[in-house]
Chains A and B, each alone.
Chain A
Amino acid sequence: MKIIGSAARTAYMLGVSALCLGGVLSTTVTPAFANEDRYVRIDEKPSGEIDPHKARDFADSILIENLYDTLVVPAGGSSVGPHLATGWTTDGNSVVFELRDDVTFHTGNKMTAADVVYSFNRMRDMGLGRSFVLGSQIGEAVAEGDYTVRFTMNEPFAPFLAAMSQVPIVDSALVEQHVTNGDFASEWLSENDAGSGAYQLVSHKPQEETVMERFDGYFLGVPEQAPDGMRFRYGLAAPTVRTLLETAGHDISSPWLPPEVLVELSQGENTKILAVPATTQMFFKLNTQRAPLDDVHCRRALSYALDYEAVRSVMKVAEGINAASPSNGPIPKGLMGNDPSVADFGQDLERAKEELAQCKYAPADYTLEVAWISGIAFEERFALLMQANFGQLGFNVEIVSTPWAKFAELVTDPAVNPHVNQVMASPVTPDTDSLLYNSYHSSRAGTWQSAEWLDDAEVDRMLDEARGASDPAVREQIYRDLSARIVELAPTIFPYNLMTVFGANNRISAPRLEDPAQTLPAISSNFAVRKMVLRD
């Protein structure tokens, strides 16, 4: 009895302590929340990189979008518009940018041409992050006065302007102060900001949280109704995000929530879902160097055998909202060269059998390896569907689960590269080149993006020609022709264009994430916090 008595006493003491604690908390915790009411809370997978020239992932892009500015910005479709630059002219093999003279960095330093040259050189010399967009065709950058910069081209490079939308401009005087042993101030800039963006850094813990606050000196101004700051959180679990969104403890989720959580959020009293049409597309990449798929007729047979509707139904989020829409071949909607008249093959087993009859291989002699990336549950369902569909043609199908790291390794050797790989890809810049060149030019074969190992002289010629052409109308036509050629060769099955879907609390309004007319192709550009509105 005494033990029970002592347990009861302990429980009583704990209860009293909890009550006291509650009392203290009610006076200490609440004000902290109140101060933060006007901060937008967003989450993504860890970790966050804030060195603008090392930044690469989706999380990084959102951070950089708000901390830094670029000479030009995506302006819908494949076009770019002026931002730090007021305009540009082409002068022979050079592009000359005129800069704004009213831009100040967070330090108060004025942005000048020297900062642009420094930023370009830093990004290219470090060779990290998205520096791959700066092709060898781009020569040197030279400051001509305080507000003029000349870029000289080694050879014509039409995607140049789009590439410049990926070069954030840093406060060179500030960065230079922190360079030690030629390290580009890399360590310092991974923890501090040297930007001119609408928000400035308050604190940064790359696996926990990055906090920013409004920069009052922003050259375009930050609207009053925009959030006062942003809390960018890393690695929240799906149930946690769901609970936080319901209780207004969070504002916008990552795009990786499972469909069942999105369904719940779409029906929640305080929550909604934001569905953004994006230039992201799913590709079922067929290994064109491995029998039986080195025969175009076998590839076409698979393309006709797939049940596209069933694939897309897997991506249904809620009644009336499906994250997948039919694709128009290799060029996603919104990009230069997209041809709305190009439809997917559609399931047609009769035509599939006709194509198979022309294929030099007998399906029963081959086992097709269909890979899916471990951890991406819906890809497993696609693999099962392909197993059923391709099996109807008489192929044996083996489903292979590969972690991303293993896939990236397998794909380098066409002899062991699975027959079918599932890859979700989007262009890095608003230019079509950044998606197609890396996917289909024979010189790029053997990467995750070019798992097809396509080797076609006609495709190579068109890709090179599009890079060199300066007239947008000519480029548009080249890409349309290229699109038709790729569909004819069937190195890839194009099951759907992806709508990127986020969960959100009702208090946030993000026009670029809600209104398709305002949405930009690069998803991170839609996360400019200054364009959002927080309701009290």
Chain B
Amino acid sequence: MRNSALQSMMSRIYASQLTQRLVQSVFVLFGVSALIFFIARVIPGDPARLALGPNASPEQVASLREQLNLDEPALTQYFLFLRDLFHGDLGISLYSGRPVVRDILEQLPATVELVLFSAVIMIVAGVVIGAVATRYQNRAADYIIRVLSLAGIVVPSFVWAIVLMLILAFWLDLLPIAGRLSQGMEPPRHITGLYTVDALLTGNIPVFFDAIYHIALPAFALSIASISQESRLMRASLVETMSAPFIETARAYGRTESWIIRKWAMRPALVPALTVVGLDIASKIGNAFLIEAVFAWPGIARYGVEVILFKDLNAIIGTVLVISLAFILINIIVDFLVGLVYPKIRLQGATDV
């Protein structure tokens, strides 16, 4: 009875924490929307002129400005934007000529799929490499990993992308160069927009493998810097944990280093890595644009850059809001995952409330 009362109290505390985080998130999004709304208007150039092209007459430009409410005071424009936003309308993109919501829904899944695959590669490789470096601390393997990690971090991802493309696609002809599917292959029926997931859900195995075949290279290129960072972080965290008194106890019991790493040290060491992984994943949604450009990946990161250059106000705000939302959601998820991996933090959080 006492246990169930405690559990019920903990659930209430979690629910309260979650509600608190969600309410905070709404304010954050509201702040981001205001910030980006006004910053976007500082970028030089008349969006109507850019949208209509250099040859459009002044009358055409004036008419579009009126349509877009660009002649209204900035504050009025912002309230009009908020009004439409509450109706799920982000306006029309001047860049594509289509509703921004539609553009985002079309582009976002491609980036989400790319980032998810990249995240899986990053987590698996980062943890394994970090563990190996710890196991062979200050020995040849550790030094080699250190040098490679450094190279992974300092060389920009698009350089890796081009190098990998040259080696794996051009010289060895193992992987495709561009796109999400082979030419002529029909995408699977749209369910999530993630081709691999949709192909599995619809039982379309050839498309599933084709999608994997196409995503492998860009996802790996996107994950290289993060693998390096995660593995360094993982190593540092593991080395610190391995010097803790409870690890000495395990050693005193005669356990092997590998066993200790896997069974005792890994969990607490994962906490800092997990937090960084979360931020890394979220930032990839916006930072993937160079990889998307190199591999002709039709994602929202590339779209985001194009609309900024085009001063497409509605699309800029829409894209930034989506990326901000991803940051917030992933951070919430990471916080709860950290609690799961290392209950001590969860309990600390609970008692702080």
Contact = CB atoms under 8 A, between A and B. Distances in A.
Given A132-B56, A206-B96, A243-B165, A28 B45 contact: no
Given A47-B95, A239-B165, A405-B311, 15 more contacts: A2-B259, A3-B132, A28-B206, A28-B209, A29-B185, A33-B182, A47-B96, A47-B306, A132-B55, A207-B302, A235-B293, A236-B296, A246-B170, A247-B177, A448-B54
Closest 9 CB pairs of A and B: A405-B45, A28-B206, A208-B298, A406-B44, A32-B184, A2-B258, A36-B184, A36-B183, A32-B182
B296 A243 contact: no
A155 interface: no
B160 interface: no
- Classify chain B: how many residues form its interface, as a range: 35 or more
A240 interface: yes
B296 A128 contact: no
Nearest to B183: A36
Contacts of A187: 98
A244 B206 contact: no
Nearest to B135: A3
Contacts of A325: none
B138 to A, nearest CB: 17
Interface string B95-117: 11110000100110000000000
B58 to A, nearest CB: 9
Contacts of A406: 44-45
Instruction: Please report whether the interface of chain B is mostly helix, strand, loop or mixed according to DSSP.
Output: helix
A239 B294 contact: yes
B57 interface: yes
B52 A128 contact: yes
A77 interface: no
A404 interface: yes
Contacts of A57: 53
A404 B45 CA distance: 8
A207 B54 contact: no
B60 interface: yes
Among A36, A239, A409, chain B packs the most CB atoms within 10 A around the CB of A239
Contacts of A243: 165-166, 169-170, 177
Contacts of B209: 21, 24-25, 28
Given A127-B60, A239-B165, A449 B54 contact: yes
Contacts of B75: none
A473 interface: no
B293 A237 contact: yes
A10 to B, nearest CB: 7
A326 interface: no
B206 A409 contact: no
B128 A428 contact: no
A406 B95 CA distance: 18
A1 B258 contact: yes
B258 A54 contact: no
A132 B57 contact: yes
A167 to B, nearest CB: 15
B45 A408 contact: yes
Among A36, A404, A409, chain B packs the most CB atoms within 10 A around the CB of A404
A57 to B, nearest CB: 7
Contacts of A461: none
B327 interface: no
Interface in A395-411: 403-406, 408-409
B56 A2 contact: no
A447 interface: yes
B37 interface: no
A485 interface: no
Interface string A413-450: 00000000000000010000000001000000001110
A100 interface: no
B294 A240 contact: yes
Contacts of B248: none
A74 to B, nearest CB: 18
A178 interface: no
A39 interface: yes
